[in-house]
Copies of this chain bind each other. A is one copy, B any other.
Amino acid sequence: MSIMSHFTKKLDSLKFGGLYGEDFFLTWEKSADEIAAVFTVADALRSLRENNISARVFRSGLGISIFRDNSTRTRFSFASACNLLGLAVQDLDEGKSQIAHGETVRETANMVSFMADVIGIRDDMYIGKGNAYMHAVAGAVKEGNRDGVLEQRPVIVNLQCDIDHPTQIMADMDHIIHHFGGVENLRGKKIAMTWAYSPSYGKPLSVPQGVVGLATRFGMEVALAHPEGYEIMEDVEKLGRENAAKYGGKFSTSASMAEAFADADIVYPKSWAPFRAMERRTELYGNNDFDGIKALEKELLAQNGSHKDWECGEDLMKKTKDGKALYLHCLPADISGLSCREGEVAASVFDRYRVPLYKQASYKPYIIAAMIFLSKFREPQKLLSELERKNRARVAL
């Protein structure tokens, strides 16, 4: 019995042709089958690697990374995914230019892509800009390919935008799926996606929004909780409600961490900035209004400061299902008494969940690799089987 047959059979049951040749921006732009296909290929690639079978499907080619915000975890996940498949990573460092303009984007996107198979982009700082930038790059290389400028069309992988953080959230979900022994066991499980206090401010909204957008598609009960004033994008809330109706789950919002944690199977307490404030900040940056930005920062820090009780402590954890909910974080967390005086999570809680937290993160390289794989290869089943059959050692023995 081959290792891959489990995965290829699963793929045979799914309709995921829509992923081929396409970019990955937001999870909710993909069908349920397409999402399932990404998990399946991610697990298949992981299985190949665990069995020391090389998954090099490129003999040459570049993976371009564009990080418009600092990153260590996602940077290494992208590098790992590219390397696993045989691509060399080349960073595009744009220097200090914060928001590039249309013409430049079109030109640069083509100039770096003559031998690029993938472009991974992180651009999460400015509301209304990050996702739009990714689309601008995608449009440019699509045109470039159509016009005979680029021999291949690089696929865009969203490594975090202002709306969604698909590689993170899909890694989170793959972790949840494995934790509960299968996607079929998620139905009815309650996940508390809650705000938490942080002494810093202005953290992206892409994680809570991504969770609302994705977890509501598995028949789960998604309880979003945050202090008043920390609303996420309205469109995403609406999507949460629609998904809950469509997929037979629940979506609720509240201003109580305790309510969200009550009987939860999974908790994801994490700081983020109010959507409206981030909109204002983007506007202020657009106007080069640096006094306005400073004033906003002060206001936001004060606002945060009045919600220090939003900490994932032991008492709250006791309210969860059997007191043992799976604790999630995209890392790094603000750990009270460790990385800061008061933060998102009590040190004792964080410490107890360190191993599962690290495992949660371990899915990301495979999720990214799977997104590339499914966009680049029309017949992933055949290719996976072939990789196993060829059985070339990743590391010589």
Does A176 sit at the interface, judged by CB under 8 A?
Answer: no
| Complexed CA–CA distance, A88 and B89 (Å) | 9
| Among B148, B361, B395, contact of A376 (Cβ-Cβ < 8 Å) | B395
Are B72 and A112 in contact (CB-based, < 8 A)? yes
Residues of B within 8 A of A396 (CB): 57-58, 377, 383, 386
| Complexed CA–CA distance, A147 and B92 (Å) | 35
Residues of B within 8 A of A377 (CB): 396-397
| Chain A 43-61 near chain B by CB (<8 Å), digits 1 or 0 | 0001001100011111111
Does A201 sit at the interface, judged by CB under 8 A?
Answer: no
Are B59 and A54 in contact (CB-based, < 8 A)? yes
Q: Describe A's contact surface by its main secondary structure.
A: mixed
| Complexed CA–CA distance, A60 and B80 (Å) | 9
| Complexed CA–CA distance, A62 and B107 (Å) | 29
Residues of B within 8 A of A151 (CB): 46, 49-50
Does A362 sit at the interface, judged by CB under 8 A?
Answer: yes
Residues of B within 8 A of A49 (CB): 115, 151
| Complexed CA–CA distance, A92 and B111 (Å) | 22
CB distance from A231 to the nearest CB of B (A): 30
Residues of B within 8 A of A79 (CB): 62, 88, 90
Does A332 sit at the interface, judged by CB under 8 A?
Answer: yes
Does A256 sit at the interface, judged by CB under 8 A?
Answer: no
Q: A335-B103, A361-B111 are in contact. Are A62 and B83 (CB under 8 A)?
A: yes
Residues of B within 8 A of A383 (CB): 396
Residues of B within 8 A of A117 (CB): 395
| Chain A 69-101 near chain B by CB (<8 Å), digits 1 or 0 | 000110011011001101011101000000000
Residues of B within 8 A of A62 (CB): 76, 79-80, 83
Are A89 and B92 in contact (CB-based, < 8 A)? no
Does A349 sit at the interface, judged by CB under 8 A?
Answer: no
Are A61 and B395 in contact (CB-based, < 8 A)? yes
Are A365 and B115 in contact (CB-based, < 8 A)? yes
| Complexed CA–CA distance, A392 and B58 (Å) | 10
Does A108 sit at the interface, judged by CB under 8 A?
Answer: yes
Q: List 24 A-B contacts (CB under 8 A).
A: A46-B151, A49-B115, A54-B60, A56-B60, A58-B394, A58-B395, A59-B394, A61-B395, A73-B111, A73-B112, A76-B92, A80-B114, A80-B115, A83-B88, A88-B88, A103-B338, A103-B339, A107-B331, A114-B361, A114-B364, A117-B395, A149-B362, A377-B397, A386-B396
Ranked nearest first, the 10 interchain pairs of A and B with the lowest CB-CB distance are A80-B115, A54-B59, A57-B396, A149-B358, A76-B112, A147-B355, A73-B111, A79-B90, A110-B358, A83-B88
